[in-house]
Structure formats: C-alpha cells, structure tokens
Amino acid sequence: MTPAVVASVETMLEKWKSKEGKEIEVFQEFRLLTSEVISRTAFGSSYLEGEKIFDMLMKLSVIAGRNIFKAKIPIISKFWKSADEIESERIAKMIHDSVMRIVKKREERVVNGEADNFGRDFLGLLVNAYHEADQKNRLSIQDMVDECKTFYFAGQETVNSLLAWATLLLAIHTDWQDKARAEVIEVFGNQNPDSEGMAKLKTITMIINETLRLYPPISGVIREVGREVQLGKLVLPTHSEVDMRIIALHHDPYLWGDDVNLFKPERFAEGIAKATKYNAAAFMPFGLGPRSCVGMSFAITEAKTALSMILQRYTVTVSPTYVHAPAQRLTLKLQHGIQLLFHALHYDA
Ligand code: HEM
C-alpha cells in the first residue's frame, strides 16, 4: 500500500507548491488526501466513483453529527420529518444508486469476458459476497452500502483527524519537529518512504502515539453488556450499553501523571507497554479486544508516510489566525479548522 499512499501524498504536495509560506487549512487538505487513499484502496480502478460515494457519506456524517444527541418523539417522528432527515434520505438513495452502478459495471465486465473476477479490492470482495451461491452467506445491497459506510468512516475520517492534529502539534513543538525531520532524513534521505524504513521511524511513532493519546480520533467505544455483571459497586444489567470514553482514559492524571495534558512524546520512548505501565486500557485509540480496529497498521503506515514526506520538504508553523476549538463531530475535529504555514526547505527533496 505504501506506493499508493506515496502517490496520493505527492499529488497533495504538488498543490502545496503554489501555497508555500501562505496559510493552509490542513484539516481539509488531509480530508482530500485520506479520501483519495481510502478510495484507491477500497475501490481500486473505480476509485473516482468511490470518491463520489465517500463525498456523499461525508455529507451524511455532517448531518448525523449535528443530530447525534437529538431525541426523537416516537409517533410524531413517523409523520413529520425534519429538513435534515429528508436530506439524509435523499443522500442515502444517491449512495445506494452509486454503489449499484459500480456493481453493475463490474458484473458487466465479467459477463462480457473483459475480466474473470469482480476485483481484488475491498469492493470486489463485497461484490463477490453479493454473488455468493449460498444464500445464508450472501450479502444484500444494503449490507454492501453499509460496509462501504463503515470502511469510509473507519478508514478516512480517523486518519484525517490523526494527521491534522499531529501536524498542528509539530507546528507548535518545533523541537519535536526538528527531531522528527532529522530522523526522516537519516532513514530516507530525500527519497520517498518505503515499507522497509517505516519500522525505523521511532521518533515519528512516539509523536503519533502522543497525538493519539491527546486527541484520539474516536473518543469512545460502546459495548453492550452480554450478561449481568458487577464492576466494583456498580451492577450492569444485561443489554445495558456501556460508553467507554477513550479520551477520558487518555487524560486521566492517575494513569498518566500531572503532566497529562502536555505533549510529551518521550512518554512512549520505550514503547506503549512501558508508557502505560502495562495497563492495556490506559491507551486504546484503536479500541480493545476482539472488535478492535482492523486498520491500525494501515493507519499508522499512512500517517508515517504523509508526515515523513511533509517533513522532508517543509518546516511548519502555526498561522496567527488559528483558534484552538476542538469539537466532537463523530470524530474529534476543529470548529474552525487548523491553519498552518509551510515554509519550503532549501534542498531538493
Ligand atoms: C488513526 C486511525 C484510526 C483510528 C484511531 C481507529 C480507531 C478505531 C476504533 C476505536 C474502532 C472501534 C474498536 C472497538 O470497538 O474496540 C475502530 C474500528 C474499526 N476500524 Fe479503525 N481506526 C483508524 C483507522 C482505520 C482504518 C485506516 C481502517 C480501514 C482501512 C479502519 C477500519 C476499521 C473497521 C472496519 C473497524 C470496525 C471493526 C469491527 O467492528 O469489528 N480503521 N477503529
């Protein structure tokens, strides 16, 4: 996957050449980057259509984000729909139609003999499951659409958030920015990152972990209680939902010390186990247990690649217009974005 990520980062950095020294809003920039990466990975040759679908999913996520805590009135909500609900239904229908169009195209290629399978990318696997001979294991269209949604939210929004916060923290903590750049130059010189060098990026890994601790893209996970259980003085009934606030664990001074709110990547110098004093639940940006994130390595490789390529070319500082206003919108975002300045380094990267 590294060459696909490198190609997408190169496209982004090519655009940045005309903006050197000027303000760039990185949340939006990384949104385009991570959408392209996930579209290429998930939809392969159909990635342009994939991007359109993800774009619509983005709109749906914005609507869902602003309605997440709104209660519904049971009978009235059956007959009356808010503007957001009507818009969500319209977008959902468009997404459904787009997925169907891609599926049809892939089916036609097989029928016409242009291809002997539906594709080896994520969508190809879904189309295969849709054609599964055994009805019990067959995927419905709705399942396919839902899988696309999960993949998009899981794989795009999260890395978007991680990259944006990491770049902001590097812009604020220029000592760490210098250390990270020195490491990248030592490992890759001015060449593009490769998978072999990824494991050697110790400082970058520490910075990524500390970013995920302070600003976990997913701030909590929900679990349903399988059977009644007692936790200390608390009895949790069967089927009750437990909302585990990852962000609260990551900011707990009891677990992390009085400097819990400071950016100190050195906490992770000897790895996660040492940093958490072997308490697995103290640091869980990717969740915990059998349902934890399947895209963890993908996400870390993508983040390391993008950060390395930026550091090879630019020093980064915070723009005077930046306002610190984190906001929970499904993932941890910023109300006014992240405005940074990128200054070209004077050597050929
Ligand atoms: C910084 C980036 C990411 C973060 C912080 C993150 C975090 C998480 C978290 C907290 C969960 C819930 C785990 C749980 O319930 O215990 C999750 C689930 C999931 N993630 Fe990620 N994720 C990231 C990137 C990705 C990427 C890049 C992909 C795919 C390419 C991905 C695919 C998934 C999927 C499919 C699930 C659902 C797993 C299931 O329900 O069994 N994630 N992720």
Annotate 130-163 with b (16+ C-beta within 10 A) or e (fewer). Answer: beeeeeeeebeeeebbebbbebbbbbbbbbbbbb
pLDDT, tens digit (0-9, with 9 covering 90-100), for 240-257: 999 999 999 999 999 999
pLDDT at res. 62: 79
In-domain check, residue 235: no
pLDDT, tens digit (0-9, with 9 covering 90-100), for 157-210: 899 999 999 999 999 999 999 999 999 999 999 999 998 999 999 999 999 999
Whose CA is closest to 349, among 188, 202, 187?
A: 188
In-domain check, residue 121: yes
Which domain CATH number covers 151?
1.10.630.10
Interval between CA 348 and ligand 1 midpoint (Å)? 36
Interval between CA 288 and ligand 1 midpoint (Å)? 10
In-domain check, residue 242: no
pLDDT, tens digit (0-9, with 9 covering 90-100), for 49-105: 777 887 888 788 778 767 666 666 666 666 677 888 888 889 888 888 888 887 888
pLDDT at 342 over 80: yes
Per the structure block, which two tokens stand in for 343? 């200054």
Is residue 293 annotated as involved in ligand binding? yes
Handedness of CA 234, 235, 239, 240 (dihedral sign): negative
Domain count, the chain: 1
In-domain check, residue 30: yes
pLDDT at res. 43: 77
Give the residue numbers spanning the domain of 46: 1-218+252-344
Whose CA is closest to 177, among 46, 341, 323?
A: 341
Interval between CA 242 and ligand 1 midpoint (Å)? 18
* Gap between the Cα atoms of 300 and 341, Å rounded: 24
pLDDT at 349 over 70: no
321 or 347, greater pLDDT: 321
In-domain check, residue 244: no
What is the number of the ligand 1 atom nearest to the C-alpha of 216?
5
In-domain check, residue 322: yes
Indicate which residue's Cα is closest to atom 6 of ligand 1: 286
What is the number of the ligand 1 atom nearest to the C-alpha of 302?
27
